[in-house]
Structure 1
Amino acid sequence: METNKYANPFGDGGQLSLSQSITDEQKWRYWLEVIDRGVISDISHQLQGFEQQHSGRSVNDIFRCPFCSAQQKTAYEKTRVTACLRETGGRYGSSSRGGYQFHCFRCKSTHTLFQFLEATENGQIADQYRWDRFRRKLTGAGWNCPLPPKEQRDALKNPLYAGSDVPPPSKADRAAAHRRRYEDQRRLDYIHKHRCPPPRGKSD
């Protein structure tokens, strides 16, 4: 299990002790490390040749580039490790440690971790990653991860989704779920009334 090189500023259980005095920078450093390293751990099995390199307190993850390795002509170049996920300057381009960024030294592709997840067909993980960062106020202007869609943010006003650990479903998905519940209830009502399943295409 990986350990977070940034000490937990919240004390036991992620809760802030009254005796502690912590800065905003300590908080966002800690949560960026927790969230980013967790996602990288989740996708590491997909990255061919994945290996961790430690340099002081920094951790760089190296692997074959998923964008250009397959296009190479020789077996050596196909299996050559040229890509990495490395720590960036963090918020506002400062020298502070921040989120991770993908870079390939051969094809020069560069993506934020969120963009890399989307580009490698990990859309569901990308949505969850963005949501986890949004809940910690690590998205939007000044950060390297965009805000969730307005529809998802607005869904937080619904008590059903307030404080949700997962992104709320879209409006269309919520409407579809409501229709399914409605149709299921109509079917149950028919069975209760007539003591038999409704004919196909009929539920009342």
Structure 2
Amino acid sequence: MGRTQEERRAETRAQLLSAAADLFARKGFHASSAEAVAAAADRTTGALYDHFGGKEGLLVALLEQWIEQTITDLTASLEGERDLDSRFGALWGGIVRRDSESGDAWLLLEFELWLHAVRDPELGVVGAERFQVMRDGLAGGLTDWSVELGFALPAPAPDLAAQVIALLIGLAFQYRIDPAVVPQQLVVDGLRRLLDLPSAPQTEGTTTP
């Protein structure tokens, strides 16, 4: 059976996003024309404008996709983890794992997205909304963990969620430049200090992603 129009449109959208992510990462947003993105996706420029309204719309869609995928990766990484340190390690792994799977391309795209989100009002709104979703989810998780594992949160959960995200992203930038200086145990210890919890005793065989 032939594909429906909806399926064909979804495939075209996915192809354009993939091509844009690759070109924006390798060449930068301004150096990649709408025509080049369409050609790389084996689609017409008209299709690009139909789906996204232009390059800026593509960048907005990529920012949304990036944050949604980050939330999905973090949620999936926590499944089955029972103790707090394992959950901290899973949070960290969910952030840095994508780089090891995709090489430098995703890191470069992250920088492009960040640069334009802080300079472009439309992107800034999208980024702020998506990060609010991320903070809300993490705040709920921290609250649940404190009840389940029997520790008190040292500050309001929304404040701690923002600080946890900042710590993870800041360490991830350092890790991506020099992984050796940011072992997983350092991340776990930092998160414990942030939550005013004692450092867990280190054991042999502690792994680094």
- Interval containing the TM-score (normalised by the shorter chain): under 0.3
Which structure: larger Rg?
A: 1
Report the TM-score when normalising by structure 2: 0.27
Which is richer in strand?
1
Which is richer in helix?
2
